[in-house]
Amino acid sequence: MLQEVAHIYDLLTKLEERFPDKQDMLCRRSGKEWIRFSVKDYVRYSHLIAYALSSMGYGKGDKVVTICNNRPEWNFTDMGLSMAGLIHVPVYPTLSADEYLYIFNHSDARIIIIGTMSQYRKIEPIVRKMEHPARIILMDDSDNIQCFRDLYQTGERVELVQKPVIEKIKAETGTDEPVSIIYTSGTTGTPKGVVLSHHNLMFNAYGHAVKQTVRSDQKMLSFLPLCHVYERSMNYEYQYIGISIYYAESLGTLARDLADCHADGFCAVPRVLEMMYSKLEAAGKHLKGFKKTVYRLAWDFANNYDNYNKSLIYRAKRNLYDRLVYSKWRDNLGGHEMLIVSGGSSIQAKIIRLFNAARLHIYEGYGMTEASPVIAVNNPVEGINIIGTVGKPMERTELKFAEDGEILTKGPHVMLGYYKNPEATSEVIDSDGFLHTGDIGRLVDGKYLQITDRKKEIFKLSLGKYVAPQVIENLLKESPYIQNCFVFGENQKFASAVIIPDFDHLRHWAQENGLGELDDKQLAADPKAVAFLHSIVDQTNSKLAPHEQIKRERIVCDEWTPSNGLLSQTLKLKRAKLTSRYSGIISEIYR
């Protein structure tokens, strides 16, 4: 039976008590090998960091920024800072210079911890531009720059003096004291610093840990950024349970790392699962004859899989397809059945059905940084997975709806506020303590939360009708020929869309339809290919109300990524940036 803990660093105590001999608590890839850190290593390095920083004069309330990819040292830092009373400000390693400088200054950072030398070369000139001085510490070994090797040595040297100091800080730290500031990646405007307490994070992690069915003798792969509260909270969940955490080298090595460590699950955002889905679909296109027929039958069955059909014939059919097709998918990912949590934005139902049929069980959840983050999630322990919903609200929290359908939530998961921004805080947390999420939703069967759209993204046509673009975009992306799209039309007579095709699928269609070998730009401009994509838009329109239908679309051969500023760090559309990027197309459409 899991016990809820009060502070982040109490997780270390519980790990020591329950799993003192665990050898692979935290692991990272180095070349072809996994570097494994035991529970004892984790506890030891975390304390040494706390001792060292305390001896260097850093103390209660000082802010420390971390910039690195996922690695065990991130956790050593997180725990060490919390024990020393410092406030952890984790930041994405992919931000622009202006974004870094803003966060460094706004957070009042006194230390900037950087993962690698390549990241150091990018960040160090920015640190020199700060309004106040800040120390830089490198995680990787260095003979010229202060690094973690130096911190560990300092921690060992001052341990006798600093151990009672740290223990006193821990004993006196209240559960509602700030422990972290997380700057929202945001799809609009300047990032805001979300202040979270020990209790915020531990209450929330415990709330979803008790729903987890993966055991302490199993492994989870982690690849979403730890600086985002979603992956961070899941990492706390794994530590609550004692699950080994393996950090993928990168998103590009996901399949390899899953297979190599034989993982039992992972967390993802829908875009990652969409890419996996597309690769599985593409694999069937290269088959011939009987194998292709079997693959197509298994594919169609999985896309329409019913979690709750327990009839003998239905189960026998699934088992047959599993033996012939689905087990091969799992073999390529390490061979295990998996539990996959999806969050960050809505996921297409067919993807959940397909993965579930293949015993790669997807459970969708919902939350936001300001709620530490989980607000609702489907529950593996209860076997509840209502596709199209994000499950039941978390226990010991309140949920209600405003008159316009906005989701409001209240409880120990709600943030302390935005750092140095009481006005913005009062805009989202009302006088009754309810956090206004900005999302529109409803309860299905009076229990299961369904998200219908972002309140701020809904736009009004000149005719007075409202359009929820995310709903239309998700319908369009159900086609394997559409990779991404952006629906717009505020104050116009009708809605339109910019569409990026899935060029792999479109190229296969082109070859089958006698268009020959065309590159992406040629495909995007080819009249037959454009007409084919228009027919897909028409099919989607048949599912929409007249005012929601896409009257005009334009096909582009572009890439939308966080690095070019058109997607957020969690792969959501940055609509203002997209509107600016395609202002010429938009003007042409509505001319």
Is the separation of the CB atoms in 230 and 344 below 8 Å?
yes
**Position with higher pLDDT, 218 vs 1:** 218
For the residues 317-343, what does the mean pLDDT come to?
A: 97
Residue 187 pLDDT exceeds 60: no
Q: What is the pLDDT of residue 285?
A: 86
Q: What is the pLDDT of residue 286?
A: 86
Task: Report the CATH superfamily, name and number, of domain 10-198.
Answer: ANL, N-terminal domain (3.40.50.12780)
Query: Which segments of 469-526 does DSSP mark as H helices, in order?
Result: 469-476, 503-512, 520-525
CA distances from 440 to 377, 401, 471, 507 (A): 16, 8, 12, 38
Residue 426 pLDDT exceeds 60: yes
Q: Distance between CA atoms of 310 and 153, rounded to whole angstroms?
A: 60
Give the amino acid at 586.
Answer: I
| Topology alike, domains 269-454 and 459-589 | no
Q: What is the pLDDT of residue 563?
A: 87
Q: Distance between CA atoms of 158 and 501, rounded to whole angstroms?
A: 59
Q: Distance between CA atoms of 472 and 523, rounded to whole angstroms?
A: 24
Helical pair 39-55 and 72-83, crossing angle rounded to 10 deg: 50
94-132 per-position pLDDT tens digit = 888 999 999 999 999 999 999 999 999 999 999 999 999
Nearest 10 degrees: Cα torsion 6, 569, 135, 137: 80
How many percent of the chain have pLDDT more than 90?
89
54-99 per-position pLDDT tens digit = 999 999 999 999 999 999 999 999 999 999 999 999 999 988 899 9
Q: What is the pLDDT of residue 455?
A: 86
Domain 459-589 matching CATH 1.10.287.3510: the answer reads no
Q: Distance between CA atoms of 105 and 107, rounded to whole angstroms?
A: 6
Place 395 in a pLDDT band, splitting at 50, 70 and 90: very high
471: which 2 tokens? 């709903």
- The β-bridge partners of 361 are 339
228-273 per-position pLDDT tens digit = 999 999 999 999 999 999 999 998 899 999 999 999 999 999 989 9
How many percent of the chain have pLDDT more than 70?
99
Q: What is the CATH number of domain 269-454?
A: 3.40.50.12780
Give the amino acid at 288.
Answer: K
349-391 per-position pLDDT tens digit = 999 999 999 999 999 999 999 999 999 999 999 988 999 999 9
Place 188 in a pLDDT band, splitting at 50, 70 and 90: low
DSSP letters for 216-256:
TTSEEEE-S-TTSHHHHHHHHHHHHHT-EEEE-S-GGGHHH
Q: What is the pLDDT of residue 1?
A: 76
For the residues 321-336, what does the mean pLDDT come to?
A: 97
Is the separation of the CB atoms in 422 and 428 below 8 Å?
no
In 3D space, the residue among 395, 368, 538 whose CA is nearest the CA of residue 455 turns out to be: 368
Q: Report CA 142 to chain centroid distance, whole Å.
A: 32
Helices (H) and strands (E) in the chain, counts: 22, 25
For the residues 35-51, what does the mean pLDDT come to?
A: 98
For the residues 551-572, what does the mean pLDDT come to?
A: 91
Q: What is the pLDDT of residue 186?
A: 59
For the residues 477-505, what does the mean pLDDT come to?
A: 95
Q: Distance between CA atoms of 244 and 230, rounded to whole angstroms?
A: 18
CA distances from 251 to 155, 223, 225, 430 (A): 34, 6, 10, 39
Q: Distance between CA atoms of 448 and 432, rounded to whole angstroms?
A: 24
**What rounded mean pLDDT belongs to the chain?**
95
Q: What is the pLDDT of residue 568?
A: 87
SS3 letters for 151-167?
Answer: HHHHHHHCHHHHHHHHH
For the residues 556-573, what does the mean pLDDT come to?
A: 90
3-state secondary structure at position 442: strand
11-40 per-position pLDDT tens digit = 999 999 999 999 999 999 988 899 999 999
For the residues 419-443, what does the mean pLDDT come to?
A: 96
Q: Distance between CA atoms of 379 and 341, rounded to whole angstroms?
A: 10
What is the residue extent of each domain of the chain?
10-198, 269-454, 459-589
Buried b (16+ CB within 10 A) or exposed e, 432-452: eebbbbebbbebeeeebbbbb
Q: What is the pLDDT of residue 469?
A: 93
Q: What is the pLDDT of residue 185?
A: 66
For the residues 402-431, what does the mean pLDDT come to?
A: 97
